[in-house]
Amino acid sequence: MHKWCSKLGKTCSRYERGEAVHMRAVVNLFKILDKHPELVKELV
């Protein structure tokens, strides 16, 4: 699990378990958050 994933809750969890379709925009967002986890507070 991504370090920042716990702050996004169920949405992130569904993607990681393969229960949600991986949209390109979300994949890109996850890549950005992996490199800049401090940005999570901007989203929640």
**Which residues touch 4 (CB under 8 Å, ≥6 apart)?**
33, 34, 37, 40
- DSSP 8-state symbol, 17: T
**Contact 40/33 with Cβ under 8 angstroms?**
yes
pTM assigned to the model:
0.55
Which tens digits make up the pLDDT trace of 1-44?
A: 566 676 666 667 777 777 777 778 878 988 898 899 898 888 87
- Structure tokens given for 10: 């169920």
27 vs 42: CA distance, rounded Å: 18
Phi-psi region of 22 (alpha: psi -120 to 50; beta: other; left: phi over 0): beta
